[in-house]
Amino acid sequence: MNFLQGIGRFFTGLFVRAGLCTFKLLAAVLLTFIKGVCFVFSEIWEIIKAIGRGIRWLWHELTESYRDRVELSNQLQKEVRRLKKEGKKAHRNAVLRFIGSFFLGEGGVAYTAFNYLLPVISAVFLVGVVAYGSGLEYGIAVEYNGKELGIISSESDFDAAAHDVQQRISYSEDEEVLDLSPTFSLKIISDDDKFLSTGQLADMMLEASDRELTEAYGIYIDGRFIGAVEDSEIVRNALDTRLLNYETDGIVKEISYANKIEYTKGIYLLSSIRDEQETIAQLTSARESRKVYVAQEGDTAVGIIQKYGMTVDRFKELNPSAEMGIRAGQMLNVTETENYLPVKCIREMESLTFLDYETVEVETSSLNVGIRSVLVKGERGEKKSSVEVTYIDGIETSRKVLSSVVTKNPVVETIGIGTYSAMPDDPDTVYFGYPLTGSGSMGWPLDGGWVSDSFISDRNHKGMDIAAPEGTEIYAAADGYVVSAGWNSGGYGNVVMIEHLDGYATVYAHMIAVYAGEGQYVTKGQLIGFVGNTGNSFGDHCHFEVRYQGICLDPAAFLNTTNMKREEE
């Protein structure tokens, strides 16, 4: 009893102590929270007091002049009332001093208003000046040879115009070099001022050069000046006619000159004016250039002649040895016709491309170990594409695929790696001294053994006898369904019959025990029974038959043991 009371007092004291600890912990947490709240509010109060002090200081600064003005006014009013008793003249002078001090004196209305309004007026004036200046349009005034030519947007415009002028005058070798040093100045653009283009500025610079000039059309090829003509339409029509008569095959999407041709009307040196027919002859001219071509595998003389647009006689003239035939790596002389203005022709055409097939390797029991054979032959796929081909003077320079569709998918080539390991004891002498070299579509049905009797022997034998010790494993020679499994009273003893594809069937007789079950699907190399000596049999062996639609065939035609090797060898 005393022991139980002791335990009760111990746990009571423990609970009381735990309660006190919990209360102290809660009290400490609550006290800490209250102190945190007090600290936050005290800081907020200090911030509010600081803001208040700032507001009071600002109010004092803003109203100080007003208070001084009020105090001065009170003093002047007292002075006016005091002098009123001394006479009208003194009173009038005091009133005048009061009015003057109130409006014009230091701290007066005018002085205070000036102090407040002057910064505001200055800021407004500054904003107005900036707004006015930002609304103005500026340009670069160009002065050349003592004459102001006009306004340009940047100095690069003058550089382009100077380059154009140099091109125009460089055409005439007897012309002196012009000094093209301008003077630039920044100018505010008025409504009467206009910006000059590069061509206009070039014309004005030539006019300011005091040279003999005339108005004409300058011809530029890819930005390069080649001369000027009086009538550009004659040249333009001649070049257009050349394009219209250009011979090409297929669907032509676009035909034009590869170079950019520009006809620019302007002021040109009289000495740079050319005859229109002379200019046409230059632009439509062509020259023959020779080069060396290294023959590639499969090249022919006809193909090379067509590629470079040569005649047969010209090719033979340059390559006498080519009559003996063309070989890869042979260096041949060819010619190319280079037009002054190459013609670019864009054609749309259909192209057929082949898609390479992939090759995969798979392990299969349909082949013996060590045999590799193609199970599925690979075939390339085909893809038809609509392409845009670009030719320069008849030579292809680029092509772009517009659309394509696969018309034939490639067939993956499958290579079988043989895994079937059943083989006779001696693969080289299994058929009475000769190896079995049949199709190999069926596997050797035993784990070992040798041929003890052939098909259609002197006993009208319907299969092949494979002798082996009792209990040797027998395997399915090919995939198929087991249609018969068990005892056969017709002399086969324990037998298994498997039906394969395409009307073939195999029979395995005289087993000591059957392992496969009727109706079961078995794969090549799967265990179906064990060698024995049951039924009409003399000695342990497996009677193996191959039938096609019920007709017995020689199993040797389906077996191939020439490549079989045992692992221990």
**For residue 392, what is the domain's CATH number?**
2.20.230.10
504 in Cβ contact with 547 (< 8 Å): yes
**Per-chain mean pLDDT for the chain:** 79
109, pLDDT greater than 60: no
Residue at a domain's end among 416, 441, 466: 416
* 426 and 398 within one domain: no
Identify the pLDDT of residue 81: 62
Total domains present in the chain: 5
Least confident of 172-181, 196-205, 219-228, 245-254: 172-181
* 163 and 101 within one domain: no
pLDDT band with cut points at 50, 70 and 90 for residue 419: confident
Least confident of 230-244, 392-406, 507-521: 392-406
| DSSP label of 443 | -
132, pLDDT greater than 60: no
Identify the pLDDT of residue 51: 85
Identify the pLDDT of residue 541: 95
**For residue 538, what is the domain's CATH number?**
2.70.70.10
Q: Average of pLDDT values for 537-543?
A: 94
Question: What distance, in Å, lies between the first and last C-alpha atoms of the chain?
Answer: 92
**Is residue 277 included in any domain, yes or no?**
yes
Residue at a domain's end among 262, 283, 304: 283
Identify the pLDDT of residue 490: 87
Identify the pLDDT of residue 569: 39
Identify the pLDDT of residue 44: 85
Joined tokens for residue 333: 């002389």
Question: What phi and psi values does residue 237 have, to the nearest 5 degrees?
Answer: -65, -40
306 by Cβ neighbours in 10 Å (0-12 / 13-18 / 19+) ranks as exposed
**Is residue 298 included in any domain, yes or no?**
yes
**Is residue 563 included in any domain, yes or no?**
no
**Is residue 3 included in any domain, yes or no?**
no
**Is residue 359 included in any domain, yes or no?**
yes
pLDDT band with cut points at 50, 70 and 90 for residue 568: very low
pTM of the predicted model over 0.85: no
Identify the pLDDT of residue 287: 83
**Is residue 1 included in any domain, yes or no?**
no
* 408 and 372 within one domain: yes
357 in Cβ contact with 381 (< 8 Å): yes
* 152 and 79 within one domain: no
Least confident of 14-23, 53-62, 120-129, 244-253: 120-129
Identify the pLDDT of residue 189: 62
Q: Average of pLDDT values for 510-524?
A: 94
455 in Cβ contact with 463 (< 8 Å): yes
pLDDT band with cut points at 50, 70 and 90 for residue 178: low
Question: What phi and psi values does residue 93 have, to the nearest 5 degrees?
Answer: -65, -35
Q: Average of pLDDT values for 446-459?
A: 86
| Counts of helices then strands in the chain (DSSP H, E) | 9, 25
Joined tokens for residue 82: 């005091």
532 by Cβ neighbours in 10 Å (0-12 / 13-18 / 19+) ranks as buried
Smallest Cα–Cα separation from 240: which of 229, 248, 232? 232
* 313 and 433 within one domain: no
Q: From CA 511, how far away is CA 298, in angstroms rounded?
A: 64
49 Rama class: left (phi>0) / alpha (psi -120 to 50) / beta: alpha
- The label of the residue with tokens 């003890």 reads 452
Identify the pLDDT of residue 564: 64
446 in Cβ contact with 424 (< 8 Å): yes
Dihedral, CA of residue 222, residue 227, residue 231 and residue 235, to nearest 10: -50
Q: From CA 522, how far away is CA 512, in angstroms rounded?
A: 20
* 434 and 395 within one domain: no
Q: Each residue of 349-392: pLDDT tens digit?
A: 888 888 899 999 988 877 777 778 888 998 999 999 999 988 88
Residue at a domain's end among 401, 416, 431: 416
* 182 and 270 within one domain: yes
174, pLDDT greater than 60: no
* 131 and 17 within one domain: yes
**Is residue 569 included in any domain, yes or no?**
no
Q: Give the structural domain span for 358.
A: 345-416
* 123 and 41 within one domain: yes
- The label of the residue with tokens 């002196």 reads 176
131, pLDDT greater than 60: no
139, pLDDT greater than 50: yes
* 238 and 200 within one domain: yes
* 150 and 78 within one domain: no
**Is residue 568 included in any domain, yes or no?**
no
Q: Average of pLDDT values for 138-160?
A: 64
Least confident of 184-198, 510-524, 533-547: 184-198
Q: Cα 361 from chain centroid?
A: 33
* 316 and 216 within one domain: no
